[in-house]
Amino acid sequence: MIENKEQFASAFIPYLSEFLVRASAAKPELAQVQVPHELQGVAKQLGISFKTSFGMGTATVIPWLACFLPEQTAGKEGVYPVLLYRRDTSTLSVCYGVSATAQAANGHWPRFWPGALISQLPHFGHQKYQQSYELQLFPATELDRHSVIVDAFVKVINDYLQVSRTMPSNPAPFMQLERDLSSLATSSANDISVAGLNLQEGILGRLVASLLTKRLLILTGLSGSGKTKLGHAFAAWIAESDTQYRVVAVGADWTTNENLLGYQDALRPEIYRKPNNGALDLILRARDDAARPYFLILDEMNLSHVERYFADTLSAIESGEPIALHSATEDLSGGDGDTLPVPPRLTLPKNLFIVGTVNVDETTYMFSPKVLDRANVIEFRATADQINAFMDDPQPIRMAALAHKGAGYGAAFVAAAAGDAPRLAELPKTIHPDGAQCAADLKARLVEAFQALEPIGAEFGFRTAFEISRFVAFHATLTGAGWQFNDALDAQVYQKLMPKLHGSERRLGPVLKALEGFCTTHGCPLSLVKIRRMQDRLKDGFTSFAEA
């Protein structure tokens, strides 16, 4: 700990002064501020080091001065004391810093700030370091109060030196996944709920497990129930930058893939015309940034025939084969100032996640079974209790409060989605006491469901069986202790097996009756409620999973 504040201030103030001069300059020099000899001695006694950053290649909008333990850097997972200078407001914040990139790394330093230190503090007021907590803000008129700034910084450093230091072990792949993802669903659900979005119980866990299972997700249901907002909110929460997601409104005139992927100019073949909605640029950024997740949110995906504009993308998700974009032999530019040239063939990056929202009315088109079969379909409903609670204090969702709060999960999210799912039979006992029994139960339940759907040709193939097993394993990992096998089974009957169901009473009545018995026997309440709604509508002679 820093016990002699006067000695530390004497050594630190010249370093701080030079940092502030450089940070506030119109064109700051990018080299680090040299640590004075006296400060080097003090830092050595404390077992810490100091570092500044003004940008790499170009000046950053937020220069910083930070304190680290040996081998730690701002780019590795963990926390550290930091001074953040905002060039746009000429203010300095003394912060309990949190790594904005969170690359996994071994080393003895603190990974988290204790809640008692930061629970009452605001987050830093800029998205670049949104996860850091602000202890004290100094406006431009108070930047010469060096002693007061040092006092605040000393408090953070002393707290830092007393926080538990941990060094990650090298667990088996499944346990590594559990450690990284086990709190993702809970953390995102809490933050999104606090930001003002009313969530159905367990829906975040199902959404995240669905995206990890496959990179295409469809959200359907009641208009105005929060489908697009939830997709947008989760993307904003887990992204490190607003450039990692794009909400694109599908138009009724989307008859080709040009609205997503652009086209080569017929009159000027050296130019590639990108769509104005930014979809192609998002895909190209994802390709060049493989460690972070990118989200393309297609709003009202069924305003046009999805097979007309999405067939190439759907095939590429399934096969992994590249999409042919143009006939040139080299990359084409989109014009002056374009920094993302377009290759002749584009493989969809594995860190690109596509979320489509669907409304059902007289202006939209139904999805074909082959599209529904390639995604999880999450239905949104609203209850009287939810409307009642919302009307107590009706407020729009506060998207700014979510920005990048979950960015630390991004790398683990991408790695899990691109890799193999955990094996159910090898579930840690902290999640379920008998993983082997879960695997056996899943096999038996899928065979039983197959037999119920087979009479009308709605049975599923090997791909669906594989994706269901993958979902169940991820759902267990995300839920952690207290996970129930039946919850995951229920979600998959609802999201994977039922969306293709539609037909007359004669055709569908016996199948719904069989599924009703299945869901009653095996404890699937979500699916059971949906089955009974479909049975009620079957009294009119026809029913479908999709509801207006």
Looking from the CA of 469 toward its CB, the CA atoms found within 13 Å total: 21
Does residue 531 belong to any structural domain of this protein? yes
Task: Let me know whether 460 and 521 are in one domain.
Answer: yes
Is residue 504 classed as helix, strand or coil in its secondary structure?
Answer: strand
Task: Let me know whether 157 and 182 are in one domain.
Answer: no
Does residue 42 belong to any structural domain of this protein? yes
Task: Let me know whether 198 and 127 are in one domain.
Answer: no
Domain CATH code at residue 87: 3.30.920.90
| 239 and 408 Cβ atoms separated by less than 8 Å | no
Helices then strands (H, E): number in the chain?
19, 16
The pLDDT value recorded for residue 102 is 47
Number of domains into which the chain is organized: 3
Dist CA 512 CA 542 (whole Å): 12
Overall size of the chain counted in residues: 548
Task: Let me know whether 403 and 438 are in one domain.
Answer: no
- Which are the contacts of 193, defined by CB distance < 8 A and separation ≥ 6? 199
The pLDDT value recorded for residue 168 is 53
Q: What is the DSSP string of 327-360?
A: S-SS-BB-STT--SPBPSEEPPPTTEEEEEEE--
Domain CATH code at residue 317: 3.40.50.300
- Which are the contacts of 219, defined by CB distance < 8 A and separation ≥ 6? 227, 228, 230, 231, 355, 356, 357, 358, 377, 378, 380
Task: Let me know whether 28 and 127 are in one domain.
Answer: yes
H helical segments located in 239-381: 258-261, 279-287, 306-319, 369-372
DSSP 483: -
Residue 339 in tokens: 């920094």
Give the Å distances, CA to CA, from 436 to 25, 182, 472, 475, 485: 63, 20, 13, 16, 12
Task: Let me know whether 299 and 322 are in one domain.
Answer: yes
Q: What is the DSSP string of 164-199?
A: PPB------HHHHHHHHHTTHHHHHHHHHHHTT---
The pLDDT value recorded for residue 457 is 84
Domain boundary among 351, 385, 407: 407
Dist CA 334 CA 339 (whole Å): 8
The candidate with the shortest Cα–Cα distance to 76, out of 32, 106, 97, is: 106
Domain boundary among 407, 436, 452: 407
Tokens 């680290």 belong to 68
Does residue 415 belong to any structural domain of this protein? no
Dist CA 304 CA 71 (whole Å): 54
Strand order in the sheet with 49-56: 49-56, 58-68, 79-86, 91-98, 133-138
DSSP element (H, E) containing 492: helix 485-492
pLDDT in tens, 265-322: 999 999 999 999 999 999 999 999 888 999 999 999 999 999 899 999 999 999 999 9
Sequence letter at residue 389? A
| 86 and 55 Cβ atoms separated by less than 8 Å | no
Dist CA 7 CA 228 (whole Å): 56
Does residue 413 belong to any structural domain of this protein? no
Does residue 412 belong to any structural domain of this protein? no
Domain boundary among 99, 127, 162: 162
Is residue 88 classed as helix, strand or coil in its secondary structure?
Answer: coil
Does residue 168 belong to any structural domain of this protein? no
Dist CA 208 CA 546 (whole Å): 22
Residue 133 in tokens: 């907590």
Terminal-residue alpha carbon distance, the chain: 64
Does residue 387 belong to any structural domain of this protein? yes
**β-sheet bridge partners, residue 542:** 504
pLDDT under 70 in the chain at which residues?
100-105, 166-180, 548
Supply the range of the domain harboring residue 286. Answer: 175-407
DSSP element (H, E) containing 218: strand 216-221
Q: What is the DSSP string of 105-162?
A: ---SB--S--HHHHTTSPBPSSGGGTTSEEEEEE-GGGTT-HHHHHHHHHHHHHHHHH
The candidate with the shortest Cα–Cα distance to 431, out of 476, 487, 486, is: 476
Does residue 170 belong to any structural domain of this protein? no
pLDDT in tens, 194-225: 888 888 888 999 999 999 999 999 999 888 87
Residue 420 in tokens: 């193999």
Task: Let me know whether 50 and 138 are in one domain.
Answer: yes
Tokens 């729009």 belong to 396
